[in-house]
Amino acid sequence: MADTLLTPAATAAASDALHADILISGAGPVGLTLALALARRGQPSLLVDARPRDASRADPRALALSHGTRQLLEQLSAWPARAATPITTIHVSQRGGFGRTEMTAAEEGVPALGYVVRYGDLWTALAARAEQEGLAWRDTTRVADHGSVADGQRRLALHRDGRLPLPCTTRLLVHAEGTPYDDPAVSVKDYGQHAVLAEVSTAQPHGNRAWERFTPDGPLALLPLEDKLAVVFTVPPEKAERLLALDDAAFVAALQAQFGRRLAFTAAGPRASFPLALRLRGALAGEREVWIGNTAQTLHPVSGQGFNLGLRDAWELAEALTPHGLAVRDPGEARTLAAYAAARQLDRRGSAVFTDGIVRLFSNDAAPLRIARGLGLLALDLVPPARHFVARRMIWGARGW
Ligand SMILES: Cc1cc2nc3c(=O)[nH]c(=O)nc-3n(C[C@H](O)[C@H](O)[C@H](O)COP(=O)(O)OP(=O)(O)OC[C@H]3O[C@@H](n4cnc5c(N)ncnc54)[C@H](O)[C@@H]3O)c2cc1C
């Protein structure tokens, strides 16, 4: 598809300034979800992304998506059904300490506790839907700065490789640009950990079971993905470098040593690593601009909350901009944005506190904490309401509280 498809909402005026009532900066999974949710409610927008259209297809992350996320993506006809592997059991334990628990879909009365999908497959399903709907979308186009506000519009420039900047006006600039680095408006808590990712094979079939194993280095998650397991191996940065440098057999041995003997690993695919930090933006809304998805909050991947939360940002922003299915007259109106920002606080803060709490509790190997963890896991195992509480957060996100 050409990168300059224009709809009535994104038209070049006589002055050659492009206008879009809603400009979404970032066509990652959250930006795409917003554009689709708005289109479904009759509100056009213009998507721009700094990268070429296909760059996201190769992203190596495996994402655990909640049952609630599946339901929302199905409403957009963007659920990647064939690429999604259901999780029917989650086994939680700690290495070198007592206590373990298991949550099951049957106990919670749902078909699956969650689903594992490659980022690239999720993105491809959303992008295919956007192309079917003919959404306005420019790739290799970057919003370099926020511009300025005058006459009820934000004026900015769209930068394209090797071409003159294109002036643009919008009533609302939505930032969906992913993890913010070096932004003074964002508080950063560096976990001093990296996530090493790989897909591995095991001697036994995974049986749709996910494993969350807490080790002295940090949490180790294994997620069923097609006939393999997707590994998120949380380790200190120096160890991440060493793991990336290992050949496949040595990596398999290192993983086996970290995980223990409950599974027998037989092969590993290519590795990638991501630095881990909690990044929280103070204000979600400014003058004719709003932040959603990872640019609003970036969480540790331990409990698989990030995209699920970003999707709820996109969904609720679409609802705020089209109450009762009718587009508001001015999408950048301060009152609308303030109401949206206030409504999102409980979900985003709750998800950040939940995730950060798990990281802190399970990344410290002091003996008293090891015992407290063991007791916590034992309590989860013995007290069904406590287990339901955690399971429902995995299944539904904030609605599970
Ligand atoms: C190791 C790891 C494991 C994870 N596991 C899970 C999980 O199990 N479950 C889960 O829910 N989440 C998980 N996450 C989080 C999840 O990946 C993110 O929450 C999700 O990708 C955020 O989507 P996004 O669209 O906000 O940002 P991104 O996916 O980062 O997309 C941002 C887009 O904006 C574009 N862009 C950037 N700057 C500009 C600009 N100036 N102008 C225009 N375009 C721009 C980029 O090119 C990109 O396409 C994990 C993350 C990591 C790192």
In a domain, 316, yes or no: yes
pLDDT band at 96 (very low <50, low <70, confident <90, very high): low
Question: pLDDT tens digits for 59-71?
Answer: 878 999 998 999 9
Q: Relative to the CA of 33, which ligand 1 atom is closest?
A: 25
The response to whether residue 49 sits with its C-beta less than 6 Å from ligand 1 reads: yes
In this prediction, residue 379 carries a pLDDT of 64
In a domain, 164, yes or no: yes
For 338-353, what is the mean pLDDT? 94
In single-letter form, the type of residue at position 128 comes to: A
Question: pLDDT tens digits for 230-258?
Answer: 999 899 999 999 999 999 999 999 999 99
In single-letter form, the type of residue at position 65 comes to: L
In this prediction, residue 98 carries a pLDDT of 65
The response to whether residue 301 sits with its C-beta less than 6 Å from ligand 1 reads: yes
3-state secondary structure of 12: strand
pLDDT at 384 over 80: no
Q: Which two tokens stand for residue 76?
A: 């957009």
Q: Which domain holds residue 164?
A: 10-62+121-184+281-355
pLDDT band at 16 (very low <50, low <70, confident <90, very high): low
Alpha carbon of 178 to ligand 1 centroid (Å) = 5
Whole-number Cα distances in Å, 284 to 229, 243, 364, 381: 36, 37, 32, 38
Of 103 and 5, the structure prediction assigns the larger pLDDT to 103
Question: Which CATH number belongs to the domain containing residue 154 in this structure?
Answer: 3.50.50.60
Alpha carbon of 30 to ligand 1 centroid (Å) = 8
Alpha carbon of 161 to ligand 1 centroid (Å) = 22
In a domain, 81, yes or no: no
In this prediction, residue 100 carries a pLDDT of 73
The response to whether residue 194 sits with its C-beta less than 6 Å from ligand 1 reads: no
Give the residue from 193, 232, 260, 252 showing the smallest Cα distance to 62: 232
pLDDT at 401 over 50: no
The response to whether residue 114 sits with its C-beta less than 6 Å from ligand 1 reads: no
Q: Give the relative orientation of helices 384-396 and 367-382 as an angle to the nearest 10 degrees.
A: 90
In this prediction, residue 216 carries a pLDDT of 81
For 261-283, what is the mean pLDDT? 95
The response to whether residue 199 sits with its C-beta less than 6 Å from ligand 1 reads: no
Residue 194 gets the label, from left (phi > 0), alpha (psi -120 to 50) or beta, of: beta
Are 312 and 37 spatial neighbours (Cβ–Cβ below 8 Å)? Answer: no
Using CA positions, which residue lies closest to atom 37 of ligand 1? Answer: 177
In a domain, 274, yes or no: no
Q: In angstroms, rounded to a whole number, what is the distance separating the alpha carbons of residues 309 and 299? A: 10
Pick from 152-161, 280-289, 346-355, 390-399: least confident: 390-399
Number of separate domains in the chain: 1
Listing DSSP states for 40-61 in one string gives HTT---EEE-SS-GGGGGG---
The response to whether residue 60 sits with its C-beta less than 6 Å from ligand 1 reads: no
Alpha carbon of 60 to ligand 1 centroid (Å) = 12
pLDDT band at 370 (very low <50, low <70, confident <90, very high): low
In this prediction, residue 145 carries a pLDDT of 83
Are 360 and 372 spatial neighbours (Cβ–Cβ below 8 Å)? Answer: no
Using CA positions, which residue lies closest to atom 21 of ligand 1? Answer: 307
Residue 184 φ/ψ, nearest 5 degrees? -60, -20
pLDDT at 172 over 60: yes
The response to whether residue 308 sits with its C-beta less than 6 Å from ligand 1 reads: yes
Percentage of the chain with pLDDT > 70? 87
pLDDT band at 97 (very low <50, low <70, confident <90, very high): low
Q: Which two tokens stand for residue 291?
A: 């932040």
3-state secondary structure of 394: helix
Alpha carbon of 31 to ligand 1 centroid (Å) = 10
For 322-349, what is the mean pLDDT? 95
For 277-299, what is the mean pLDDT? 97
Q: Relative to the CA of 177, which ligand 1 atom is closest?
A: 34
3-state secondary structure of 234: strand
pLDDT band at 354 (very low <50, low <70, confident <90, very high): confident
Q: In angstroms, rounded to a whole number, what is the distance separating the alpha carbons of residues 94 and 19? A: 54
Alpha carbon of 294 to ligand 1 centroid (Å) = 6
Q: Relative to the CA of 123, which ligand 1 atom is closest?
A: 29
The response to whether residue 174 sits with its C-beta less than 6 Å from ligand 1 reads: no
For 175-188, what is the mean pLDDT? 96
In a domain, 342, yes or no: yes
Site to probe by mutation for ligand 1, drawn from 33, 49, 146, 274 as the one with most ligand atoms within 8 Å of Cβ, is: 49
Whole-number Cα distances in Å, 18 to 4, 27, 155, 329: 11, 18, 10, 19
pLDDT band at 381 (very low <50, low <70, confident <90, very high): low
In a domain, 319, yes or no: yes
For 179-192, what is the mean pLDDT? 94
CA dihedral for 186, 189, 192, 197, sign (positive or negative): negative
Alpha carbon of 304 to ligand 1 centroid (Å) = 13
Q: In angstroms, rounded to a whole number, what is the distance separating the alpha carbons of residues 362 and 214? A: 6
The response to whether residue 298 sits with its C-beta less than 6 Å from ligand 1 reads: no
Q: In angstroms, rounded to a whole number, what is the distance separating the alpha carbons of residues 183 and 305? A: 22
The response to whether residue 56 sits with its C-beta less than 6 Å from ligand 1 reads: yes
In this prediction, residue 207 carries a pLDDT of 97
The response to whether residue 139 sits with its C-beta less than 6 Å from ligand 1 reads: no
In this prediction, residue 380 carries a pLDDT of 64
Question: pLDDT tens digits for 150-166?
Answer: 999 999 999 998 888 99
pLDDT at 372 over 90: no
Site to probe by mutation for ligand 1, drawn from 3, 24, 30 as the one with most ligand atoms within 8 Å of Cβ, is: 30
pLDDT band at 8 (very low <50, low <70, confident <90, very high): very low
pLDDT at 400 over 50: no
Alpha carbon of 284 to ligand 1 centroid (Å) = 17
The response to whether residue 27 sits with its C-beta less than 6 Å from ligand 1 reads: yes
Mean pLDDT, the chain, integer: 89
